[in-house]
Chain A
């Protein structure tokens, strides 16, 4: 599987996800700078976590209108898979490639800790190595992660089966399941055709036993299986 990681000024998880992609797929991803207007042919485009353009105006808002995003949209229309992690998820909602918006955490705090997640769907290109209903543990690290959409829009998203991951309390630490005030505990969604996924948790930070858990690794194993 060939992949591309888009690098914005302020991205800070680009290298983490590149290392994970190289380890899991055996192929180093190509890193593409935000000012480029074309993308190399690839099976997967990753929009990594970080603070693109300093999160000015709104998280993801400036990146959503950068030259490279026009190329990402074009590739997405051609059927290339797109994975947006954290800031990448914010960018995908700002471009309209995914519905809804990510708002300031209800606590107003930046939260960096492990969260429990329930895998709602294991039949997507991003999650086929999990089982439906499985509970996993992956860290989050964000201040603007409260998923919001109007009530009727959320009903539609739920009805279309677009919710892939939901926050669910970790039994080990007894903390509340929903860390940030997301509507209906939504942590990750997918577009209707199933090719564009965004999630606030960082699977690339839980992909190596040496650095804290491997529950996120299967996102990349799923993609390798689906897109080889």
Chain B
């Protein structure tokens, strides 16, 4: 089973990297850009075949290591 985890800074947490990307897009002429937020994607391959168990385990991984829940939100998506 394969999972894709998206980790993003929480709303309200300043994202200076996103702001720098927005600034770069503006200077390239993409004037319609309002705001950019950036984050990271982590793909995990699991030996587990049970979807519910996998979701529970992935959630545990996110809370313990993959995301810092003081500043970040995460979203887990099962791909196969």
Q: Which of A103, A106, A108 has the largest count of B CB atoms less than 10 A from its CB? A: A103
Contact segment of A27-35, A57-65, A112-120 = A57-65
Kindly identify, within residues 85 to 126 of chain A, every residue whose CB is under 8 Å from any CB belonging to chain B: 93-94, 99-101, 103-108
Residues of chain A with a CB closer than 8 A to B65's CB: 57, 61, 65
Q: Shortest beta-carbon distance, B8 to chain A, in Å?
A: 13
Kindly identify, within residues 1 to 43 of chain B, every residue whose CB is under 8 Å from any CB belonging to chain A: 13-14, 16-17, 20
Instruction: Tell me the dominant secondary structure on chain B's binding face.
Output: helix
Whether B66 is near chain A, meaning CB under 8 Å from some CB there, is: yes
Total interface residues on B, CB under 8 Å, equals 11
Are A108 and B20 touching (Cβ within 8 A)?
yes
Residues of chain B with a CB closer than 8 A to A94's CB: 68
Contact with A along B32-68 (1 / 0, CB 8 A): 0000000000000000000000000000000011101
Are A104 and B71 touching (Cβ within 8 A)?
no
Residues of chain B with a CB closer than 8 A to A150's CB: 70
Q: Shortest beta-carbon distance, A133 to chain B, in Å?
A: 29
Interface residues on A, range: 10 to 19
Residues of chain B with a CB closer than 8 A to A107's CB: 16
Whether A149 is near chain B, meaning CB under 8 Å from some CB there, is: yes
Are A181 and B70 touching (Cβ within 8 A)?
no
Residues of chain B with a CB closer than 8 A to A53's CB: none
Which 9 A/B pairs are nearest by Cβ-Cβ distance? A101-B70, A101-B71, A106-B16, A108-B16, A101-B68, A104-B16, A58-B68, A108-B20, A148-B71
- B residues within 8 Å of A by Cβ? 13-14, 16-17, 20, 64-66, 68, 70-71
Q: What 5 new A-B contacts, CB under 8 Å, besides A103-B71, A108-B16, A108-B20?
A: A94-B68, A103-B13, A103-B14, A105-B16, A148-B13
